[in-house]
């Protein structure tokens, strides 16, 4: 996984990117609920890459948009927030329940000028992943294929493939086996 990305709040080189994303997000969230063509068009312009069969419910928010890459058959429920100061890659056939936050961005530990600068780490979510409601995923995390993140979890560490995790912080509950199919 790539190293962390350093950024400065108010950086003029990012202000145009924030405005671009903000206007597209505003249009997306204001679109008629059943106007799938318009919503898909806006998401295609906003996001870095979009697979076929994307659905994101209203009240979606992100920082830049272009650092978000989603595979085919992607679904995100209401109130999804993706802070994409670093890259977010989401595989095929992924489901995200309502009120999920995916946060690549963070702030520096040292308190002096903490409000002015930050850092971000990429997040990778594999194929066939189901993320329950009210989950928070922090930067630098990789979630393996076929995994499930239980509702209300805070994911601070990598999640192996074929695993169910839950809690705060999220811990392995059990493996997903062939008998679960």
Catalytic residues, by residue number, are 107
Separation between Cα atoms, residue 83 and residue 151, nearest integer Å:
20
CB 159 within 8 A of CB 148: no
Q: 159 near 135, Cβ under 8 Å?
A: no
CA-wise closest residue to 136 among 178, 165, 168, 163: 168
Name 2's Cβ contacts closer than 8 Å, sequence gap at least 6.
Answer: 86, 87, 122
For residue 51, give Cα distances in angstroms to 59, 68, 101.
21, 12, 21
């Amino acid at each position: 996984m790539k190293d962390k990305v350093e950024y400065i709040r108010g950086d003029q080189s990012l202000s145009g990117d924030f405005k671009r994303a903000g206007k597209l997000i505003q249009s997306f969230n204001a679109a008629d609920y059943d106007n799938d063509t318009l919503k898909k068009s806006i998401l295609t312009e906003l996001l870095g890459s979009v697979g076929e069969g994307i659905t994101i419910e209203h009240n979606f928010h992100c920082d830049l948009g272009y650092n978000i890459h989603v595979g085919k058959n992607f679904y995100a429920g209401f109130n999804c927030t993706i802070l994409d100061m670093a890259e977010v890659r989401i595989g095929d056939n992924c489901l995200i329940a309502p009120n999920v936050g995916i946060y690549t961005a963070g702030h520096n530990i040292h308190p002096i000028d903490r409000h002015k600068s930050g850092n971000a780490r990429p997040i990778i979510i594999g194929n066939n992943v189901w993320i329950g409601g009210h989950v928070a995923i922090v930067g630098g995390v990789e979630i393996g294929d076929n995994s499930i993140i239980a509702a209300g979890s805070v994911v601070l560490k990598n999640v192996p493939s074929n695993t169910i995790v839950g809690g705060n912080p999220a811990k392995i509950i059990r493996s997903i086996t062939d008998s679960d199919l």
